[in-house]
Amino acid sequence: MFKNSYFNRKLHSLLGVIPVGFFLIEHLLTNYSAFKGGHAGFLEHVEWLHSLPLVLALEIFGIWIPLAYHAIYGLYVAYTARNNVTNYGYFRNQMFFLQRVTGVITFLFVAWHFFETRFQIAIGAVAQEEIGIQMHHIASNPVNFVLYCIGIVAAVFHFSNGMWSFLVSWGVTVGPRAQRVSTYVWMGVFVIMSVMFIMALSAFVNPEFGQLPDMASH
């Protein structure tokens, strides 16, 4: 299946940024609207996304198929990869290892999150406008909250450290100084995005999300 290693690695790397990375950032902004705008503000973002033309095709071909390829090939890499301290040094070798571990955690988390949210909407178990209520039920459970925090941090680390690797492998950061600066930048992105995601998750715990808002008064 993965005979052409170079091509698959390049495609895997590219899809991790476009569109999977963009999807993660969009997901962050949508969920962060729960913290900034409350339930009504969150639903406005959700409704805007679902009002986009050909939204189902966009989801299938622009998100889920690229995400599935990135995840499946990533699991293959995680299973077959071996750390190389000689070539990469201790710190970067640890980042290589964590990239694989967080990739597996992210895969499990995304599958779980998808089942509890988008899949429930697709089968009609949860109405689109009730997604905030569904997230309230999920986030209000202490065990789920902790597991979501672990999944969020893993996903954001995987993206941020993956961006460092992407810039190296695509010849953007070619020297030691550029790669060192890139490390600081993407670790900063990791911290900021993680905090914003957890703030959004904390917002869903608010009892306000336990019922539909009065959109007319918003």
H-only helix segments in 117-175: 118-122, 131-140, 142-169
Residue 204 has a pLDDT of: 97
Going by C-alpha positions, the residue among 106, 102, 101, 112 that lies closest to residue 144 is 112
Handedness of CA 128, 134, 136, 139 (dihedral sign): negative
Strand ranges (E), the chain: none
Task: Say how far apart CA 85 and CA 191 lie, in whole Å.
Answer: 26
pLDDT digits over 176-197, tens only?
999 999 999 999 999 999 999 9
Upstream peptide bond of 19 is cis (omega within 30 degrees of 0): yes
Fold of 5-213: 3 helical TM bundles of succinate and fumarate reductases (1.20.1300)
At 50 the pLDDT is 86
Whether pTM > 0.85 for this model: the answer is: yes
Contact predicate 36/196, CB 8 Å: no
CB 120 within 8 A of CB 137: no
Tens digits of pLDDT across the chain (218 residues) = 555 688 888 899 999 999 999 999 999 999 999 999 999 999 999 999 989 888 889 999 999 999 999 999 988 887 887 655 445 567 888 898 899 999 999 999 999 999 999 999 989 999 999 999 999 999 999 999 999 999 999 999 999 999 999 999 999 999 999 999 999 999 999 999 999 999 999 999 999 999 998 754 44
130 contacts: CB under 8 Å, gap ≥ 6: 212
Please, what's the b/e burial string for 74-85 (b: 16 or more CB within 10 A of its CB; e: otherwise)?
A: beebbeeeeeee
* Nearest residue to 166 via CA among 13, 8, 24, 9: 13
Please give the Cα distance from 63 to 164 (Å, whole number): 22
Reported as a single tens digit per residue, the pLDDT across 23-46 is 999 999 999 999 999 999 999 999
Domain parsing of the chain, residue ranges: 5-213
How confident is the model at residue 88, as a pLDDT? 58
| Angle between helix 5-17 and 65-80 (nearest 10) | 130
Q: Is the dihedral of CA 95, 200, 145, 109 positive or negative?
A: negative
